[in-house]
């Protein structure tokens, strides 16, 4: 059972929740202990003993303690103090858009600012084609052409173009999935504000910055003004402690959280992740954690920057950045505590990310495919995790297993990085031995369906034979982030969201499978 001790003498909470982790029902319910409503008083002033040397304040000239997100808003709006609910003009550090929303945002920019208007800062705009790329759909191809014309016209510094659709490697500027590319190309920095025309822009919160998705109208305004009117969100804090079992990944952690608070539990709230478990996560795993906060309705997810963050960024950006951290007496709307050592592998059953269940509870669910890819589960470490399961089993997959690296760099890693304990084999070699499909060109792929010719899209039910009965299945275990009807193509498709461990284990059996069958 999770610990019920909360340091109430240092941090203020309106609600406090301890969440039991072991042997929970598959029903998304709360196990709350020592929960009580506490209204904390605002600190009007702080008196400190006289000191011979006064150290600089971490928040500037402020009267009240603030959370990380509140501090970033205060800095970006040039305010000394902010509280949840306030509306402020926020200066934007990075605006990202892609081939789906970019053309619309550009159209609004030109309509409102003028056909010959110039963007506010050509070096703070990042444009990444990634969604509907490897397709013959003329309108999808036209979208990339619109981006290219605009970037040439505006001399946009960071446009990751693709022209040769037949061979992505012939396009050195092409990257792939925007949220992974933003990190790999050094556009994510602690303490900054990053906005993007994609709901999963919240992924970048892993770097200790405010990152959230916005619509085309807002993006069109930011293109011309470099700022946006935003409301300061209240913060939910998630404290995750305990040693991470070797059969769990960050995907299990975020599915646990969404299952607890529901898909609306964090609506327009910041989700701050702290604790010894979070500190032990790699940057890519932290990105997974923050990636799916929007599936809980969250405005943004955020992880305090630390040595892991700084090491990742060391060779990716030369721009200075200044991390911020929540004050000891910052106010949080609620706090949830988890003992991660007691968690088990999870899935989200159709048709909602909060339809949580233990993977072992779904062992009788027959599947017809596995999909490993997307901004959530298509990073280098995700493929290394899947390869680890295939290597441990020594078996071949029983259903088609589709592999879509998020970016060109991830694709190269799949073909070059040795898998630990494999004797030097790469992921690609292990995937081939296991009978998986050849890793596809990097893109968003079938995560959101796309045109009919999108690789691995769920188009038609697959026939499955059992004695004298023919079943027509359309059931996928996927490392993606949403499982709504029609999300990956066919409206009758059933999607089980899972970690790369669970996805790989399921591929080996043809049923939803707990990865402990192969990892222990």
From the first residue on, what is the mean pLDDT of each consecutive set of 10 residues in the chain (520 residues)?
A: 36 62 36 35 32 42 84 98 98 98 98 98 98 96 98 98 96 97 98 98 98 98 98 98 98 98 98 98 98 98 98 97 97 98 98 98 97 98 98 97 98 98 97 98 96 91 58 86 93 96 98 96
Residue 60 in tokens: 């500037």
**Residue 471, pLDDT score:** 54
**Residue 464, pLDDT score:** 59
**Residue 7, pLDDT score:** 35
Residue closest to 340 by CA, chosen among 428, 402, 250 = 250
CA distance 110 to 372: 39
**Residue 127, pLDDT score:** 98
Q: What angle do CA 177, 264, 376 make, to 5 degrees?
A: 20
Cβ partners under 8 Å of residue 2, min gap 6: 18, 19, 20, 21, 337, 338, 339, 342
**Residue 52, pLDDT score:** 38
A 10 A CB-CB count for 263 gives 19
**Residue 461, pLDDT score:** 66
**Residue 27, pLDDT score:** 38
Tell me if 480 sits within 8 A of 377, measured CB to CB: yes
Cβ partners under 8 Å of residue 457, min gap 6: 446, 449, 450, 451, 488, 489
**Residue 63, pLDDT score:** 67
**Residue 460, pLDDT score:** 77
**Residue 41, pLDDT score:** 34
**Residue 38, pLDDT score:** 38
**Residue 467, pLDDT score:** 53
Tell me if 503 sits within 8 A of 377, measured CB to CB: yes
**Residue 32, pLDDT score:** 32
Dihedral angle sign, alpha carbons of residues 356, 360, 361, 366: positive
Helix (H) or strand (E) holding 402: strand 401-404
């Amino acid at each position: 059972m999770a610990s019920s001790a909360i340091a109430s003498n240092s941090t203020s909470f309106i609600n406090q929740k301890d969440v039991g982790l072991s042997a929970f029902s598959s029903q998304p319910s709360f196990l709350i202990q020592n929960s009580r409503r506490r209204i904390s008083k605002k600190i009007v002033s702080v008196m400190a003993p006289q000191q011979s040397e006064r150290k600089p304040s971490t928040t500037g000239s402020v009267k009240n303690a603030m959370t990380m997100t509140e501090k970033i808003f205060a800095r970006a709006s040039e305010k000394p103090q902010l509280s949840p609910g306030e509306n402020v003009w926020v200066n934007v550090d990075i605006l990202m858009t892609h081939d789906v929303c970019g053309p619309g945002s550009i159209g609004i920019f030109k309509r409102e600012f003028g056909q010959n208007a110039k963007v506010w800062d050509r070096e703070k705009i990042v444009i990444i084609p990634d969604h509907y790329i490897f397709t013959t759909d003329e309108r999808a191809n036209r979208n990339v052409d619109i981006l290219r014309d605009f970037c040439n016209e505006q001399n946009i510094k960071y446009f990751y173009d693709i022209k040769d659709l037949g061979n992505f490697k012939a396009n050195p500027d092409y990257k792939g999935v925007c949220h992974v590319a933003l990190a790999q190309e050094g556009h994510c920095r602690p303490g900054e504000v990053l906005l993007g025309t994609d709901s999963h822009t919240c992924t970048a919160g892993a770097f200790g910055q405010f990152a959230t998705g916005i619509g085309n109208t807002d993006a069109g305004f930011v293109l011309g003004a470099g700022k946006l009117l935003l409301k300061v969100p209240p913060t939910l804090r998630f404290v995750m402690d305990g040693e991470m079992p070797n059969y769990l990944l960050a995907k299990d952690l975020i599915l646990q959280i969404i299952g607890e608070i529901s898909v609306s539990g964090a609506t327009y709230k910041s989700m701050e992740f702290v604790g010894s478990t979070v500190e032990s996560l790699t940057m890519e795993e932290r990105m997974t954690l923050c990636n799916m906060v929007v599936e809980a309705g969250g405005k943004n997810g955020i992880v305090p920057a630390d040595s892991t963050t700084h090491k990742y960024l060391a060779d990716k950006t030369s721009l200075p950045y200044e991390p911020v951290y929540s004050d000891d007496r910052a106010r949080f709307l609620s706090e949830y505590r988890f003992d991660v050592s007691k968690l088990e592998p999870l899935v989200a059953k159709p048709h909602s990310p909060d339809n949580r269940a233990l993977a072992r509870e779904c062992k009788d669910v027959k599947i017809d495919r596995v999909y490993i890819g997307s901004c959530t589960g298509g990073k280098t470490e995700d493929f290394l995790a899947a390869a680890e399961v295939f290597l441990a089993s020594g078996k071949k997959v029983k259903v088609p297993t589709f592999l879509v690296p998020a970016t060109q760099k991830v694709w190269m890693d799949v073909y070059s990085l040795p898998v630990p304990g494999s004797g030097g084999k790469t992921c690609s070699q292990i995937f081939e031995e296991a009978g998986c499909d050849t890793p596809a060109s990097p893109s968003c792929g079938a995560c959101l369906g796309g045109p009919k010719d999108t690789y691995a899209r769920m188009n038609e039910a697959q026939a499955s034979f059992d004695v004298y009965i023919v079943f027509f299945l359309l059931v996928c275990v996927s490392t993606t982030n949403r499982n709504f009807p029609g999300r990956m193509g066919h409206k009758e498709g059933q999607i089980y969201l899972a970690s790369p461990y669970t996805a790989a284990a399921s591929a080996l059996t043809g049923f939803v499978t707990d990865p402990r069958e192969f990892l222990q």
